[in-house]
Amino acid sequence: MRRALLLSVLACGLAPLAYAQEKAAPLSVDSLFNPATKVEYAGFPKARLSWASDGSLIATEFGKEGISFEKVDPKTWKKTPLFDAQLLKAALKAAGADEKAAQMALGMGRFRWNAPRTAFVVSVADDLYLVDLAKVRAKRLTDTPGEEIEPTFSPDGAKVAFLRGSDLYVVTTADAKETRLTTGGDETHFNGRLDWVYQEEVYGRGDFKAFWWAPDSSKLAYLNLDETKVPVYTLTDDRASDQKLLQARYPKAGDPNPIARLGVVDLSGHTTWTTDPYNGAETLIVRVDWTPSGQLMAAWMNRVQTWLDLRTYTGADSKAIIHEQTKAWVDTEHTELPTFLPDGSFLWQSDRTGHHHIYRYTKDGALMGAVTRGDWDVRGLFGVDAKAKHIYFAADARSPISVDAYRADLGKSPDEKMELLTARIGWHRVSFDPKFRYALDTWSDIRTPAQLSLLDADGKTLRVIDDNPAKQAWKDQKLGEVTFQTVKTRDGFPMETMLIKPVGFDPAKKYPVYEHLYGGPAAPQVANAWDREMPWFQFLAQQGYLVWVCDNRSASAKGIASAYGIYKNFGAQELQDHLDGLKWLGDQGFADLSRVCIEGWSYGGFMSSYALTHSTAYKLGIVGAPVTDWHLYDSIYTERYMDTPQANPEGYKTSSVDLAAKNLHGKMLIMHGTSDDNVHPANTIQLIQALQNAGKDYQLQLFPGSDHGSAFGKPMQLWSIYRARWDFIKENL
C-alpha cells in the first residue's frame, strides 16, 4: 500500500492569469499555431541589446527595410545611429557582395562582433565580410568557393580566425591577407572544428568552434579530432523523387569515440602538440581556454565522466591543479573554466557538495574556501567587480522554481548575508555591463510574458525597455488558475509541481488530466517563468482539462545529488516519482485518474513511452522523438548516466522500452522527424517493430525533413503537431 503523500502549497499561490471578459474569442489550435491565423500569445521582448566594452549598449533593430544599429547611453538613453539597413547593403555591395545575398545575410542577423562592438564579420554567399560601423564601410575578407564558418576576432581585433572545411585559417582585417594554419583536415579529421557528438553533448548544440585565441593574439589553441573509428549513421531524405542520403559519424553507447588532441598553432602555421597526460586512456577534452597571463588550461574527463581534471600547461606538458569526482557523474553542463582575479587567484564552480557552488583557489590550485554555500544552486557566474571586491551571480536561493541575481562580498564568509538584486519573484536572466554599473534584466513569471528592463548595480529598475505586447493578447481571455505545489514522494523527497485548473473549475467534479513531462537529469520543467507551452496549456484548461507538470527528483533543480538515484538505471525511479505525484493529485478529489494522458518529447518521449509500457496509470500517451533503447543513443550523453553497455548490460535492459512493448497499456501516439540526427528515427522504427510483434496498436505521425526540434522554423509542421495532439486527446480522453 502506498504511503500517504504530503502537500505543501507555496504561500504565494497564484491567482488566475487574467480575469475573464465575455468579448474574447476562446483559444483554439488555429489561433495558437495556424500560421495564417496565429495570435502572438507566447511573445518575447523584441528589443535586441548587447553590451559594448565601453559600457554602452548596441541596439539591433529589424525593420521593414532591413537591419540597423544604434548606440545607446544607458544613463541618458540617448541613441546615436550607427548604421542603417540601406547603408549596410550599400557598403556590402561596394565591397563586392551580391545585393540579394547581402540582404538575406543581414536579415538573419548572424554577426560576429569584435570586443568593442565597433565592427562585425558577416557571411554573405559563403564569404566573409568585415563591417566597420565607425567608418561606415565594408571589406571583403575571403573570396573562395568554400564556405567559411565560426569567424572569431583576435583579442586585438586585427585578425579573424575561421574554419574552411575541416581546417583552421586566419585573415588580417587591415589587408585581408589569409594564412592557412592547419592541414590534413578531411571528413574524419577535424582541426579546430567539433564533430557532431562533441558539439551536441560537450560544447553546446550548434557550436562547432574548437579553437581559442591566446590573450596576446599571437597563437591559438585548438582541438584535433580523429573520428576514423566512429561508426557512420545514415538518414534518408525521401521528399523528392531522387532520394538523398544524409550521413554523419555518430558514436552510440559503447562505440568508439572521436580521439581528441590539444595543440597550439602560431600565426605561421606551426603546431605544438601537448602531451597526453593519461597515456592513451579514453578521455574527453571538455573545456579549453587561456588564463589572463597567457597560460593554456583545459578540463579533461574520463570516457564515462566520473571525474574531471583541470590542467594548466607549460609548453607541451601539464599538471592537474583541481580534481573533481562524485559517486556518480561530473556534470559537464555545469563545467566552467576559472574566473581569474587580479591577484592570480581564481573562482571555480563545483558540484562537490551535491549543490552547485563557487570556490576560490590560489593560482596554484590550493583551496582558499567557499564563496557561496547552502541548500540551493548557483545558476551562473556573471563576473567579478575586482575594484569593489564583489562577485555577481545567478542562483535559486529564494525558491527552487525561480532564479535571481545576487551580489556577494569576496571578503566575507559564505554564511554572511548576500544581496538579492532582483526584487520581483520569478525568473531573471541578467546581463551586466563590463563595469557592473548597469544590468539588462529579462524577467517573467508564470502569469507574465517576459519583459526587459534596465537596472542599476543595486537592482533598482531604471527603465522598462520592453514590456512585451504579447501580454495584451491575454487581457480578455478566460484562463485557468495556476498553482505551484510541493508534493512529497513516498520516501519523502519534495517534488515541485504545477497545476492548471480548468476554466470554471468546480471542486465537486472530476476532470481528465494532461501530464506534460521531460524528466531528464537536472532538467526541471516546473518554473515560475513564462513558458512557450503556456498558451497550449491554457487552451486545454479552457477545454476542461487539468494540466499537471511534475518534476521527478532527478529532473529537479534541487542539487545534482538528487539525480544520482537514476545512475545506471533510467526510467524506474523517474516513473515511480510521477506515479506518486498522480497519487497526490487523485487524493484531491477532482482528478479522474482513469483518464490521464502523458506527453513528452526527447527524454520526455522516452519517459512517456516507458510509462505506458511499465505501468497501468495512463489511458494514453503522446510520445515525441523518443529514445526507446539506450543502446541507440549517443555515447557521451548516455554513458555519463548509464556507463557503457558492456559494463552495465542489466541497466540497459531494464531501461528499454522496446523490450517491454508487450506490456503496453493505453493508446500511444508516436511522433518523429524523419531527419532527426540526434534521436534517430531508428528508435521509433524499432519500437513499432516491437509493438507489431507483440500485437499492439499505435498511431504514428512523421514530419518529413525535420530534425530533433521537428517544428522549429517550420510553422506548418508545428501546427500539424498540435492538431494531431488535440485530435488524439479529444478522441481518446
Q: What secondary structure does DSSP assign to 443-477, as a single string?
A: EEETTEEEEEEEEETTS-EEEEEE--GGGGGGTT-
Please check whether residue 714 lies inside any domain of the structure. Answer: yes
Cα(137)–Cα(124) distance, integer angstroms? 15
Please choose, from the candidates 5, 16, 6, 27, the residue with its C-alpha nearest in 3D space to the C-alpha of residue 483: 16
Q: Is the pTM of this model over 0.85?
A: yes
Task: Note whether residue 503 is domain-resident.
Answer: yes
Residue 669's closest CA among 599, 592, 574? 599
* Residue 472 CB contacts under 8 Å (≥ 6 apart), including other chains: none
> Where does 552-675 show beta strands of DSSP type E?
591-601, 620-624, 667-673
Q: Hey, is 731 helix, strand or coil?
A: helix
Buried b or exposed e, range 628-661, using 16+ CB within 10 angstroms: bbbbbbbbbbbbbbbbbbeebeebbebbbbbebb
Does 727 reside within a domain? yes
Measure Cα distances from 605 to 251, 491, 514 in Å.
Answer: 21, 26, 15
What does DSSP assign to residue 649?
Answer: H
- Total number of domains constituting the chain: 1
Q: What is the pLDDT of residue 388?
A: 86
703 inside domain: yes
**Locate cell 506518486: which residue?**
580
Q: What sections of 511-551 are H helices per DSSP?
A: 534-542
Cell of 554: 532527478
**Crossing angle of helices 99-108 and 85-94, rounded to 10°:** 130
Q: Is 290:311 a contact under the CB 8 Å cutoff? A: no
CB atoms within 10 A of CB 398: 16
- Who's near 366: CB < 8 A, 6+ residues apart? none
Name, in order, each residue with C-beta under 8 angstroms of 30's C-beta and a sequence gap of 6 or more: 37, 38
Closest by CA to 43, choosing from 603, 469, 453, is 469
Please report the pLDDT score of residue 2 as a whole number.
26
Please identify which residue in the block is written with the cell numbers 540579394.
Answer: 100
Where residue 705 falls (left for φ over 0; alpha for ψ -120 to 50; beta otherwise) is left
Provide the CA 63 distance to its chain's centre, in angstroms. 28
**Exposed e or buried b for every residue in 265-283, given b needs 16+ CB within 10 A?**
bebeeebeebeebeeeeeb
What pLDDT shows up at residue 711?
A: 66
Domain assignment present for residue 93? The answer is: no
Q: Is residue 710 part of a domain?
A: yes
685 found inside a domain? yes
Residue 522 lies in a domain: yes
DSSP H helices in 40-195: 85-94, 99-108
Domain membership of residue 557 as a residue range: 7-43+471-732
Tell me the CATH number at 609.
3.40.50.1820
User: Which residue type sits at 43?
Assistant: G
C-alpha span between 551 and 402 (Å, rounded): 14
pLDDT confidence of residue 712: 64
Count of other CB atoms within 10 angstroms of residue 342: 9
- The DSSP bridge pattern shows strands 378-385 and 438-445 to be unpaired
In the predicted model, residues of the chain with pLDDT beneath 70 are 1-23, 710-712
Residue the block writes with cell 585559417: 169
